[in-house]
Structure 1
Amino acid sequence: MIYEGSYINYVDFLTIPLGKGGGSLGSYLICDQLFKDYIINRGRKFIYTTSLPPINVAWNLFILKQIPHFHYRIEKLNSLTKLTHDLIKKYNLKTISNTHIISIIIGDNNKLNKIISYLKTRGFFVYGVKEPTVPKGTSRIRLGLNPTLTEQNIIMFFKELNYAINTLF
């Protein structure tokens, strides 16, 4: 919602991504007609891009219309995100994240593999991100929080992760 006195008049481009948050793919770009015409006629990545299938366009429009009804989910996700970051601090874990998509830095690939194997035996569906996908020494577990998780899910995960880090090595 744009409020009087806002700075929207100073914004040339507004991008609305529909990937993770929208459960789809693609994005929207809101801009003046002059910019739109330029991008359509001169933007190589735009010119050589295949348009989204009609089902994705319909889904994107559906999601955009539903956003006002997602307040409870958004509040719950924010609460779970805060809890998760509090637990990261409590267990002295290293992260480079401050949103609901969280990378927990473990270190080397072998250590990460052992931790992941242990967590899977404890019922957690996790995968690691290893070098060369990430720089050497920064292998990590990537968490994607969502509002269907419970606080207890997250607390148990971090207890097990902490156990694995401090016991397996």
Structure 2
Amino acid sequence: MHPLLSRLRADVEARRAAGLGRELLAVSEHRGVYAMVERQDLLDFSSNDFLGLAQDRDMRAHLADLCRLQGCGSGSSRLVTGTAASTLAAEKALAAHFGYESCLILGSGFLANLTLLATIFNDKDTLALDKRAHASTVAGARHSRAAFHTFRHNRMDHLEKILRAHPVQAVLTESLFSMDGDSPDFGALRRLKEEFGFLCVVDEAHAFGALGDGGRGLAPGVADVAVGTLGKAFGLFGAFILCPEAVRDHLVHFGQGFIYTTALPPWHGDMVLAMLERVAAADEVREGLRRLGDEARTTLGDVLPVRGEAHILALEVGDEARCARLAAALRNRGVLAFAARYPTVPLGQAILRVNLTALHTREYVRKLRDALVASLGDEA
């Protein structure tokens, strides 16, 4: 074996030996709150389909009609012939709904954060980012070649110390953290922004569509630039950057992750418009999801310590190997929950992440609790 391949294999074996191995679960079907995994129906608490739109019957039919009419793929990049008229219409509609000057749609959330940060910042800039920021944010900051400092998770007092010690051009954070399920104090962040004059960039991937009036997230009036995904509450795929026109224009001219990739399918913009209409009208659904989150925190908190302020709950386990065993035991009892381990979360702080959606009910949460109690009982 080539030495490089030997090194790669050794890296993976070391991860597995530390209880950090990763596997791809073969999912053959999603049906309501259930996922068919290896011929077993599992009650799914791992999906980001927060409003249930990914499986909506009307949206599925609309997509099928659009695909039959417009074809499967765009055939080129956005700067050649890959920008459909509906894509431009969708970008304008997203900007208007969320209250921003302009918008740019890209292929994924990771690509959006990476392209945004690596393009608009350079080695003359200094950034401050939350220590728990998503891997795509960290990658974008590193690729930008800007100097950056991390502040303790959601600690505005620590951020203030950094701001007083360094000439920070931008602060990067999230509105709802994907693993902790918590949020910054946006009132305090606004006050710091007014005092220090930094640009505020907020990843609203897990909040847009699911939180706020009209699904507008948690950072209106604070974020100068916001990144949203179309693969979570919007039930589709792709991502979007909400920003001043100057940022959009710069990304179109210099953003490698936008320029040098095939555009999304020609019907994608039409689907975004249809999904946006549903998202905007879903305040009642969002309220139901909020109430379910409150109840689930109490129900599951009697079994394991729970973090999370909205529809994402982190059940604290700690040990990585134990967390993986609990996730496997839950699957054996018909429940699917994600075992988040290092490096997704800090070492020794493994969690079972529970994602609640509009398709879940109290009964399903009780089934999760019962399966968790039984799985923990097996350890005794």
- Using the size of structure 2 for normalisation, the TM-score is 0.38
Distance (whole Å) between structure 1 residues aligned to residue 221 and residue 316 of structure 2: 40
2:243 aligned with 1:31: yes
Distance (whole Å) between structure 2 residues aligned to residue 28 and residue 22 of structure 1: 11
- Cα deviation for residue 35 of structure 1 reads 2.8
- Aligned residue type for 1:106: V
Q: Deviations over 1:83-123 (max 9, x none)?
A: 1222343335143x323122322122332233223322322
- Cα deviation for residue 149 of structure 1 reads 1.0
What is the SS of the residue equivalent to 2:351? strand
What is the SS of the residue equivalent to 2:314? strand
Q: 2:231 aligns with which of 19, 22, 31?
A: 19
Cα distance 1:36–1:165, how it changes in 2: closer, same or farther (>3 A)?
same
Do the aligned residues in 1 keep the contact of 2:340 with 2:353 (CA within 8 Å)? yes
Question: What count of residue pairs does the alignment treat as equivalent?
Answer: 164
Do the aligned residues in 1 keep the contact of 2:229 with 2:240 (CA within 8 Å)? yes
Could you say which residue in structure 2 is the equivalent of 1:124? Answer: 335
Distance (whole Å) between structure 2 residues aligned to residue 10 and residue 92 of structure 1: 34
| Within-5 A mapping of 1:39-58 | 39-58=251-270
What is the SS of the residue equivalent to 1:102? strand
What is the SS of the residue equivalent to 1:54? coil
Q: 1:114 aligns with which of 325, 328, 340?
A: 325
Distance (whole Å) between structure 2 residues aligned to residue 60 and residue 103 of structure 1: 30
| Within-5 A mapping of 1:4-153 | 12-95=224-307, 97-153=308-364
Distance (whole Å) between structure 2 residues aligned to residue 160 and residue 63 of structure 1: 34
- Cα deviation for residue 156 of structure 1 reads 2.7
Cα RMSD for the two superposed structures: 2.9
**Structure 2 residue ranges without an equivalent (≥5):** 1-96, 100-219
**Structure 1 residue ranges without an equivalent (≥5):** 3-7
Q: Deviations over 1:10-59 (max 9, x none)?
A: 86434443221111222333434333222211233332343222233322
Could you say which residue in structure 2 is the equivalent of 1:5? Answer: none
- Aligned residue type for 1:25: F
Cα distance 1:150–1:50, how it changes in 2: closer, same or farther (>3 A)?
same
- Using the size of structure 1 for normalisation, the TM-score is 0.76
Cα distance 1:99–1:48, how it changes in 2: closer, same or farther (>3 A)?
farther
Cα distance 1:9–1:106, how it changes in 2: closer, same or farther (>3 A)?
closer
Cα distance 1:124–1:49, how it changes in 2: closer, same or farther (>3 A)?
same
Do the aligned residues in 1 keep the contact of 2:297 with 2:306 (CA within 8 Å)? no
- Aligned residue type for 2:265: P
What is the SS of the residue equivalent to 1:20? coil
Per mean C-alpha deviation after superposition, the further-off stretch among 44-53 and 138-147 is: 44-53
- Cα deviation for residue 124 of structure 1 reads 1.2
Distance (whole Å) between structure 2 residues aligned to residue 73 and residue 50 of structure 1: 35
- Aligned residue type for 2:264: L
Cα distance 1:136–1:33, how it changes in 2: closer, same or farther (>3 A)?
closer
Q: 1:161 aligns with which of 365, 372, 376?
A: 372
Do the aligned residues in 1 keep the contact of 2:329 with 2:375 (CA within 8 Å)? yes
- Cα deviation for residue 154 of structure 1 reads 0.6
Per mean C-alpha deviation after superposition, the further-off stretch among 49-58 and 150-159 is: 49-58
What is the SS of the residue equivalent to 2:316? strand
Cα distance 1:9–1:144, how it changes in 2: closer, same or farther (>3 A)?
closer
Cα distance 1:80–1:38, how it changes in 2: closer, same or farther (>3 A)?
same
- Cα deviation for residue 131 of structure 1 reads 3.5
Tell me the percent identity: 23
